[in-house]
Amino acid sequence: MREKALVAFMGFLLTGVLGTMITSWIQQRGWRGRTGRQDRQRHTERARRLSERIRPHQHALARDLSHGARDRARRVADEWKAANDEFAASDKDWAIRYTSVARDVAFYVDTPFAIEARTK
């Protein structure tokens, strides 16, 4: 009899402890879910208000960036034009010097030895 009473007492005790633990776990999940929904709603509202405040600044930043990109493109185009002009001047100078050297060679080397210069 004593053994049965002990088993019954342990059953009630374990049922109470386990039942309390399971019940509190379920209750905390419910509270956490409700609190999470409230937090999400609050954060969503804050994000919406912040977005409304930032939107004009985003447009201004995008406008400034596009103007900056346009200015950079213009600057790069100017640098390319300057480089091409410098190359054209250098090429023209080289052509003049080459023609001068070719003329001197024809006059001082080919003419005395009666060698006909062939143009090809």
Q: Given a cut of 80, is residue 27 above it in pLDDT?
A: yes
pLDDT band at 60 (very low <50, low <70, confident <90, very high): confident
If one compares 101 and 108, the residue with the highest pLDDT of the two is 101
Question: At 24, which amino acid appears?
Answer: S
> How many Å apart are CA 52 and CA 18, to the nearest integer?
51
Q: Given a cut of 70, is residue 118 above it in pLDDT?
A: no
Please check whether residue 106 is in contact with residue 117, taking contact to mean a CB–CB distance below 8 angstroms: yes
Please check whether residue 73 is in contact with residue 80, taking contact to mean a CB–CB distance below 8 angstroms: no
Please check whether residue 116 is in contact with residue 110, taking contact to mean a CB–CB distance below 8 angstroms: yes
User: 68-93 pLDDT, tens per residue?
Assistant: 777 777 888 888 888 889 999 998 99
If one compares 14 and 94, the residue with the highest pLDDT of the two is 94
pLDDT score of 40: 76
CB atoms within 10 A of CB 106: 13
Question: Under 8 Å CB-to-CB from 117, ≥6 apart: which residues?
Answer: 106, 110
pTM: 0.36
State mean pLDDT over 53-59.
Answer: 73
